[in-house]
Amino acid sequence: MFDIDKWQEIFSTIRKNKLRTILTGFSVAWGIFMLIILLGSGYGLENGVKREFTGDAVNYLSINAGITSMPYKGLSPGRRLRFTNEERKELGSLEGVDKSSGRSAVWANNTLSYKNEYGNFDIFAVSPDYKYVESLIILNGRYLNKIDEDDYRKVVVLGRLVDEALFKGEDPLGKYIKVSGVPFKVIGTFDDPGGDRDLTRIYIPLSTAQRVFNMGNYVGSILLNLGDADVEESLEMIEVIKQDLSEKMKFDPTDPRAIFVYNSIEQYRTLMNLFSNIRLFIWIIGIGTIIAGIVGVSNIMMIVVKERTKEIGIRKSMGATPWSIISLILQESILITGFAGYIGLVMGVGLLELLSNVLPATDYFANPEVNIQVAVYATLLLVISGALAGFVPARKAASVKPVVALRDE
């Protein structure tokens, strides 16, 4: 395989046919370049959307109350349903529910202030276990805990951007900010991989909010973490929840508008399926492009073999075995595809690197890149395709009778 003479011979034919070799190489390089760009972009898309998801757990149900649209047990439709602490407890005690929490948005005057700094931010009143829904990273201090809730403490956890806006680098812990005019003590700050929208938020205890902002015992949404339930189990759980709530809150369990459930488990699976389909699609297109390149190389190798028929005849009359002829041509083909493909690979990866450095990461596109595994696959694909492109012409060349080959002019 690593025979200096053979390589010298390969290089001498390549040198004699520069343009042909360059054109062939280009078609392969282009194929690989496109494959890498496609795969990289697909990966970037996936990264972007996955990043959205890493902001949240993927095993929770978010249940919101709506307005009934069907009459039930003598009650007319059009009734507005609202959850209370009672429903939350009830659902939290269902079998299969790992953690439960409530969340209400505070729609008062949303102005937050610290000294002379003001800002409008989302105020979320949540129970301590809400941290299992949003995958928060506590930067400073701590998150809300059960004592905060039980004692109706006026404490607040700030999103990183809120902290930056109000405190401008000052240590916020232990300071008081005004939430709609009511002073709350800052006990922590958090980061959230889910993106900026989740960082312009503050969290206060739900129990405190119900008292301070006159929300009665109402709860906006109920969030249930289902442990490691799969999609089917989550769908069953939703049925159980509907039945349960329908009895408590008096609505038709088949009413589509009475309650709304966001099923993150199902969403996540749908998305993952989508991505595996996209990946498959990209590979099909990419491989198609490469096949076009292979056909090109094959074509060129056919011509090469045709041109060298007489030489092959001479070699055979000198005692060249069929295999030595095949390997001569195969190696040239693998060399061209391998080298050109490598250039395509490097250029593709280079462009992706450039893109990921220049383009800001958005919600739907982040870090386009190809991992080492894909690069290895692509390289493997190259070698195989090079061999494939050369094999048919090579075998043809090797099987020509020497006398026929020698007659060729």
Partner 1 sequence: MITLKNLHKSYEVGQNKLHVLKGFDLSIEKGELVSIMGSSGSGKSTLLNIIGLLDTYDEGELILDGDLIRNYSDSKQRNLNERKAAHLRNATIGFVFQSFNLISFKNAKENVALPLYYQGVGRKKRNRMAMEFLEKMGLEEWAEHLPNELSGGQKQRIAIARALISKPKIILADEPTGALDSSTSMEVMDLFKEINQSGITVIIVTHENDISRETERIIRLKDGLIEKNIKNGFHKSPAEKPKILQTA
In the complex with partner 1, which residue's Cβ is closer, 258 or 326?
326
Minimum separation from the CB atom of position 282 to partner 1 (A): 41
Minimum separation from the CB atom of position 393 to partner 1 (A): 18
Please give the Cα distance from 103 to 218 (Å, whole number). 10
Minimum separation from the CB atom of position 315 to partner 1 (A): 7
Residue with tokens 């992706």: 352
Torsion of CA 182, 186, 192, 198, to 10 degrees: 10
Please give the biggest Cα pair distance in the chain: 103
In the complex with partner 1, which residue's Cβ is closer, 6 or 50?
6
* Number of amino acids touching partner 1 (CB under 8 A): 23
Q: Alpha carbon of 348 to those of 30, 33, 282, 289, 351: distances in Å? A: 9, 5, 15, 14, 5
Residue with tokens 């809150």: 249
In the complex with partner 1, which residue's Cβ is closer, 163 or 332?
332
Minimum separation from the CB atom of position 3 to partner 1 (A): 9
In the complex with partner 1, which residue's Cβ is closer, 290 or 394?
394
Minimum separation from the CB atom of position 404 to partner 1 (A): 8
In the complex with partner 1, which residue's Cβ is closer, 13 or 356?
13
DSSP structural state of residue 258 = T
- Candidate segments 5-13, 125-133, 148-156, 256-264, binder of partner 1 by CB under 8 A: 5-13
- Candidate segments 10-18, 220-228, 271-279, 377-385, binder of partner 1 by CB under 8 A: 10-18
Minimum separation from the CB atom of position 10 to partner 1 (A): 12
**Pattern 306-335, partner 1, x by CB under 8 A:** ----xx-xxxxxxxxxxxx-----------
Minimum separation from the CB atom of position 405 to partner 1 (A): 9
Minimum separation from the CB atom of position 406 to partner 1 (A): 7
Residue with tokens 């649209």: 69
Residue 399 φ then ψ, to 5°: -95, -5
**Pattern 272-311, partner 1, x by CB under 8 A:** --------------------------------------xx
In the complex with partner 1, which residue's Cβ is closer, 245 or 400?
400
For residue 5, state whether it binds partner 1 (rule: CB under 8 A): yes
Please give the Cα distance from 115 to 169 (Å, whole number). 14
End-to-end alpha-carbon separation of the chain, Å?
A: 30
Residues 324-383 that bind partner 1 (CB under 8 A): 324
3-class secondary-structure state, position 59: coil
Residue with tokens 């195969």: 330
In the complex with partner 1, which residue's Cβ is closer, 344 or 393?
393
In the complex with partner 1, which residue's Cβ is closer, 13 or 208?
13
Burial class (CB in 10 A: 0-12, 13-18, 19+), 62: middle
Please say whether the dihedral angle defined by the alpha carbons of residues 346, 348, 354 and 357, taken in this order, is positive or negative.
negative
Q: Can you list the pairs that 348-353 forms with residues at least 24 positions away whose Cβ atoms lie under 8 Å?
A: 348/32, 348/33, 348/34, 348/35, 348/36, 348/37, 348/40, 349/36, 349/40, 349/375, 351/37, 352/36, 352/37, 352/40
Residues 142-201 that bind partner 1 (CB under 8 A): none
- Candidate segments 12-20, 32-40, 48-56, 373-381, binder of partner 1 by CB under 8 A: 12-20
**Pick from 107, 79, 49: which is nearest to 274 by CA?**
49
Angle in degrees, CA 205, 211, 213, rounded to 5: 90
Minimum separation from the CB atom of position 398 to partner 1 (A): 8
Exposed e or buried b for every residue in 281-305, given b needs 16+ CB within 10 A? ebbeebeebbeebbebbbebbbebb
Minimum separation from the CB atom of position 1 to partner 1 (A): 14
Q: Residue numbers of the site for partner 1 (CB under 8 A)? A: 4-5, 12-13, 16, 310-311, 313-324, 401-403, 406
